[in-house]
Amino acid sequence: MTNVDLVIIGGGPGGYVAAIRAAQLGLNTVCVEMDRTLGGTCVNVGCIPSKALLESSHHFAFLGHDAAAHGISLADLKIDVATMQKRKDEVVGQNTKGIEFLFRKNKITWAKGQGTLKANNVVEVRGAPPDNNITSYQAKNVIIATGSVPIELPFLKFDEQRVLSNVGALTIPKVPQHLIVIGGGVIGLELGSVWRRLGAKVTVIELLPAILPGMDDDVVKEADRVLRKQGLDIRVGTRVVGGGRTDNGVFVEVEKDGAKERLEADHVLVSVGRRPSTTGIDAAALGLTLGRRGEILVDDQMRTNLPNVYAIGDCVPGPMLAHKAEEEGVVAAEVIAGKPVHMHYRNIPGIVYTWPEIAVVGLTERQVKESGREYRVGKFPFSANGRARTAGETQGFVKFVADARTDEILGCHMIGPNVSELVPEVVLAMEYRGSTDDIGVTIHGHPTLSETVKEAALAALGRAIHI
């Protein structure tokens, strides 16, 4: 048995970032990962490959629909899906190899295999078949970073051929005639957008009254309008009551207002959420405290109820976001190293990489209104922004919600071109409990998309210039 300072179970965004930070702090660190590559869901079958496909399909859509306005004409435009998929795989490979390089640079041991947490912080790692060799580590500290898995529907079990999770939706070999997406959240809309841009008919079925549950009402309304205009068939308030395989594809039975309908398609993407995964963690045997969804309960220093055992990422409460997991990993590593840090969740941005993009941080207007707090709203449309006009990308807006008395920014909600790159300014301001006036008096370059943020902040103060 090998004695080490820290064993991390899971090599996803939370796990590998925790490993790097721990190594920087001088801890002898082992990261256990059973997949053949590091990076977890995000790098291998989530954030990175989906953005690669979104980028490729965005170029295709631009050339097919928008290039003519720029004086660019193309004849016989076509998509080579195999080449697009090959590029996606190469992008993923660059990222996974980059993480392996960082492990070598920081002298982190990658224990390849299935990790199991035993009593007294012993971690057993079973290697791959046929050898199945077991290596044991006695850890002073353990970080559980076992992630999450997609939720299945009982009548639509994943086979990744016709009934797809996010994994199968990334590897469809040709553009389907019809793709059904169950779930109008982030994953469903992003992957549905990929295949719609390439020519597929895409039907999105959402049980709730609107897509993008939990987001600001104005953003949801605009996203629904724009995505429908792009050709997505969005059906809200619709329940999926059955489904299965056919000879050549799948069928899905839906019900709305008492009326039932059978839909047939080449594939169905089931994106109704994810649940915490605790593979290799026998919570009952260890006495580890779990929540009602199976998530591992932790405090603001990522400590579980077990001595020197921490947990981070999708397997703990909070939004299932890679950047949230990364920050929790840093916090856990620094706590283990004796630093006085803690995790807070007030200002974690959320991003949807449709086009236009959506980026949000803080409270929605509805949440602030329901709290009884007096507030002001400021909005500024991209249609009034010079840089957006030059790009021909004028859909959407930036919206601030601010405290009416103190002017503190309570929330910011954006839908528009490249807003994923605009929201960090607001996140930073909110970390310092900044006001809309702070952003409004800050000089922004001209002409830039970021001026919409300044103008929306000024609008909250009643003094926007360009509208």
Selected catalytic residue, list 178, 344, 446, 466: 446
| 364 Cβ neighbours under 8 A, 6+ residues apart | 214, 215, 216, 217, 401, 411, 413
∠ at Cα 24 (35, 430), nearest 5°? 90
HSE of 293 in the Cβ direction (CA atoms, 13 Å)? 15
Question: Is 446 designated active site?
Answer: yes
- The gap between the terminal CA atoms of the chain, to the nearest Å, is 69
Backbone angles phi, psi at 421, to 5 degrees: -90, -10
- Sort strands 357-362 and 409-416 into parallel, antiparallel or unpaired: antiparallel
Q: Where are the beta strands (DSSP E) in 271-420?
A: 274-276, 309-311, 350-352, 357-362, 375-381, 397-403, 409-416
The owner of tokens 């980059």 is 98
Q: Are 76 and 64 in contact (CB under 8 A)?
A: no
Measured from the Cβ of residue 59, the count of other Cβ atoms closer than 10 Å reads 14
Exposed/middle/buried for residue 232 (C-beta within 10 Å: 0-12, 13-18, 19+): buried
**Which of 399, 347, 409, 349 lies closest to 375, judged by CA?**
409
The neighbour count for residue 214, using CB atoms within 10 Å, is 14
Run of H or E including 189: helix 186-197
- Kindly tell me the number of DSSP H helices and DSSP E strands found in the chain: 14, 22
Angle between helix 47-61 and helix 81-105 axes, rounded to 10 deg: 140
Q: How far is CA 206 from the centre of its chain?
A: 19
Distance CA 416, CA 195 (A): 21
The residue behind tokens 């977890």 is 40
CB distance 255 to 239 below 8 Å: yes
Cβ(139)–Cβ(122) under 8 Å? yes
Pull the structure tokens for residue 273: 């959420």
Q: Which of 313, 308, 309 is nearest to 295 (CA)?
A: 313
Catalytic residues, by residue number, are 446
